[in-house]
Structure 1
Amino acid sequence: MDIRAYKGRGALSNQASRYRQSTVQAEADGWWQEAVVERVDTLVQPDLSKSVLSHNQSPDVPFDQSINPYRGCEHGCIYCFARPTHAYLDLSPGLDFESRLFYKPRTAELLRQELSHPNYVCKPIGLGTNTDPYQPIEKRFRITRQILETLLECRHPVTIVTKGTLILRDLDLLEALAQRNLVHVMMSVPTLDRSLKRTLEPRAADPARRIRVIRALTERGVPTGVLVAPVIPALTDHHIEAVLQASADAGASEAGYVLLRLPREVAPLFEQWLHAHRPERAQHVLSIMRQMHGGATYDAAFGRRQTGQGPFAELLRKRFELARRRHGLDRERRGRLDCGQFRPPVEQMALF
């Protein structure tokens, strides 16, 4: 397997999808001289899905339904728990996940159809639950903005999780939704260390810019919190207090955290990244992860997958709660988002 770092990319390899029935292993025999690839370009293709609303029954996540306008994510965060979903497309959760992207051109149309269904029950829709709705290609395709326009028209509540500063482009829509108690935003900030961020989240916004986004949103009345996700033991956990303080100073109203998750292909990808970029910390990070998951680097059980268990997990929880209270980020969200205003979209009849 070819393992090397590419500028602007998080993954160091491109292992084949686990669903492929056969794989090819290259062997150097001295005859074939393969050209050295210096960069991995982004390829974007349409996704012609016939529905856009996904429904969730997991007891440890705070949403029942969501929309993911894109498959794959150009931010290239090496720790992204959504990477294994690219295997369903017969693509690699490695470099393919951050360079072979798909957009859903019919999202707004399909959303209107689903909201118009007689049996539809209004519940907040989550954006950013799998891949970032404000990743760089959103600037070109504007799918997330189309979703927000539709939800505002229908007076439908929405929650957003992002690390993209492009969200400020949609301040007009977010402010209008906020005035009706129909939106809540969580900005993801796992670290304020710019040098670490450059390899950990290569195409995501600078941490300081994300803090400024929190300030800009809250100044316009958009309820915004900070999500310290993921917390990586022995690598980013000592940044928790600084992230919460900076976010509180910027006006954040609440805070949450999620422990590093390493499902399926994410574990070997993250281990490759550790040994390449933080070799002196690699064994320590993995050792603590195993302590928090009963000897494995990941436990997929509900209630444990996002927090871990054991002494280190408990210490992490107490540290976070103490810092959250100290900075006033433990306030309950001001009421729940209002589902009572929902009105199904009105389809305009053709004149002729």
Structure 2
Amino acid sequence: MSLKRHFKGRGAQQNTPNRFLENSHEIRDDFLEFCRLEGEEADSNRTQYIPIFPKTIVNTVTSPDVGMEYSMNPYQGCEHGCIYCYARNTHEYWGYSPGLDFERKILVKKAAADLLQAKLRSKRWKAKTIVLSGNTDCYQPVERKFGITRACLEVFLKYRHPVGMITKNSLILRDLDILKELAKDRLVGVNISVTSLSEETRRILEPRTASIKKRLETIRILSENNIPVNAMLAPIIPGINSHEIMDLAKAVSDNGARSFAFTVVRLNGALGGIFTDWIKKTLPDRADKVLHQIQECHGGSLNDSRFGIRSRGEGQIAAQIHDLVRLAKSTYFKDKKFPVLNHEQTYKDGQLRLF
């Protein structure tokens, strides 16, 4: 019988090998038994915060499926631990595993606000919405410690520059003062991710995220303060949350969301193995059914890299999801519309131009 333990509060339950590294690290049962006998910890499961020093912070997004032109990420890796997160694969570029390392080794860009200011002041830069964050959550728990996202918002406000935000953490309400000022000039739009209305589902899918109650409350408070919210009902995972589409749409609409978007889950790169290992340990009774239904949405594979199809899926199950989405939009969002942000940057030097 295996002695490997459950990593409480984590999504991934293993560190898959990094495809770019020659060597890999494995925790063997005999080592775990030795640690038990010696009263030692084989793995502390603690989160590490590692400073890094990039030269730039704003990234050009070339994917036609993402819906943004530019993004920036104050942090790499994400302690939220969402098991389905596509960003896990990017942790390999930093020399880490997309499994547990992605959740426990958080790379911190302390100079992000200064780098952003230099970008906005550049004579060649023309105002376009920059999204916080296109990769990992800018309001994950580490933000309480470093406050980098708030510092970046202060830069956006100083230069009256449009910013989009994607998060599933109620910590965004800490910065309500800045968001309200940005919203006065149509300079901010917020995307709140709501994947399920079931706390049990949320807990196993996204172990260190804000509760569903907190997320709906966050949508309501932002909306009451005239800050436009788009709900991200993503990803839709057949057999796990696909039956909740109508209820999710109603809940976010009732709390003030002006629109919603969705994706069908896809498990590219190392994600396929990480998710398979997780679901067989966490939901063994329906693991095979869920995996087969995901495969049916992507031509018989867990992986799908085809632009235009990979986030939408294809086949009968995907078609059923799309039908429910259309019904949800016509039922709960018929007269709602997410606004276009203001791209007329008049504060190029951090002050109003008079002439």
- TM bucket (normalised to shorter chain) is over 0.9
When residues 24 and 214 of structure 1 are mapped into structure 2, their CA distance, relative to the original with a 3 A threshold, is: closer
1:346 deviates by 4.2
CA–CA separation in structure 1 for the residues paired with 2:346 and 2:47: 38
What is the identity, as a one-letter code, of the residue corresponding to 2:307? Answer: F
User: Is 2:6 the partner of 1:5?
Assistant: yes
2:268 and 2:305 in contact (8 A); partners too: yes
Residue by residue over 1:319-346, the C-alpha shift from the partner in whole angstroms, topping out at 9 and shown as x without a partner, is 1110121112673323x11111342234
When residues 206 and 31 of structure 1 are mapped into structure 2, their CA distance, relative to the original with a 3 A threshold, is: closer
User: Is 2:162 the partner of 1:161?
Assistant: no
What is the identity, as a one-letter code, of the residue corresponding to 1:15? Answer: T
2:18 and 2:24 in contact (8 A); partners too: no
**Where does 1:123-272 land on structure 2 (aligned, <5 Å)?**
123-272=128-277
Which of 317, 325, 328 lines up with 2:330 in the alignment?
325
Alignment TM-score, normalising by the size of structure 1: 0.94
Give the equivalent residue in structure 1 for 2:58. 53
CA–CA separation in structure 1 for the residues paired with 2:119 and 2:130: 12
Give the equivalent residue in structure 2 for 1:343. 347
CA–CA separation in structure 2 for the residues paired with 1:330 and 1:73: 36
Give the equivalent residue in structure 1 for 2:114. 109
Residue by residue over 1:212-255, the C-alpha shift from the partner in whole angstroms, topping out at 9 and shown as x without a partner, is 00000000110012110111001111111111111111111111
When residues 197 and 322 of structure 1 are mapped into structure 2, their CA distance, relative to the original with a 3 A threshold, is: same
1:109 deviates by 0.8
2:229 and 2:338 in contact (8 A); partners too: no
When residues 272 and 3 of structure 1 are mapped into structure 2, their CA distance, relative to the original with a 3 A threshold, is: farther
The residue matched to 1:108 in structure 2 has which SS?
A: helix
1:55 deviates by 0.4
When residues 212 and 296 of structure 1 are mapped into structure 2, their CA distance, relative to the original with a 3 A threshold, is: same
Residue by residue over 1:300-335, the C-alpha shift from the partner in whole angstroms, topping out at 9 and shown as x without a partner, is 11111111111211111111110121112673323x
What is the identity, as a one-letter code, of the residue corresponding to 1:93? Answer: P
When residues 11 and 132 of structure 1 are mapped into structure 2, their CA distance, relative to the original with a 3 A threshold, is: same
Give the equivalent residue in structure 1 for 2:308. 303
2:186 and 2:341 in contact (8 A); partners too: yes
Q: How many residues align?
A: 346
What is the identity, as a one-letter code, of the residue corresponding to 1:295? Answer: G
Alignment TM-score, normalising by the size of structure 2: 0.93
Give the equivalent residue in structure 1 for 2:20. 19
The residue matched to 1:320 in structure 2 has which SS?
A: helix
2:10 and 2:103 in contact (8 A); partners too: yes
What percentage of aligned pairs have identical amino acids? 38
The residue matched to 1:63 in structure 2 has which SS?
A: coil
Q: Over the residues paired in the alignment, what is the CA RMSD in angstroms?
A: 1.9
Q: What residue ranges of structure 2 are gaps of 5+ in the alignment?
A: none
When residues 276 and 329 of structure 1 are mapped into structure 2, their CA distance, relative to the original with a 3 A threshold, is: farther
2:194 and 2:233 in contact (8 A); partners too: yes
CA–CA separation in structure 1 for the residues paired with 2:80 and 2:50: 17
CA–CA separation in structure 2 for the residues paired with 1:129 and 1:93: 17
Q: What residue ranges of structure 1 are gaps of 5+ in the alignment?
A: 348-352
1:23 deviates by 2.5
Give the equivalent residue in structure 2 for 1:350. none
Where in structure 1 do 4 or more consecutive aligned residues deviate above 6 Å? 29-32
CA–CA separation in structure 1 for the residues paired with 2:341 and 2:89: 32
CA–CA separation in structure 2 for the residues paired with 1:105 and 1:284: 44
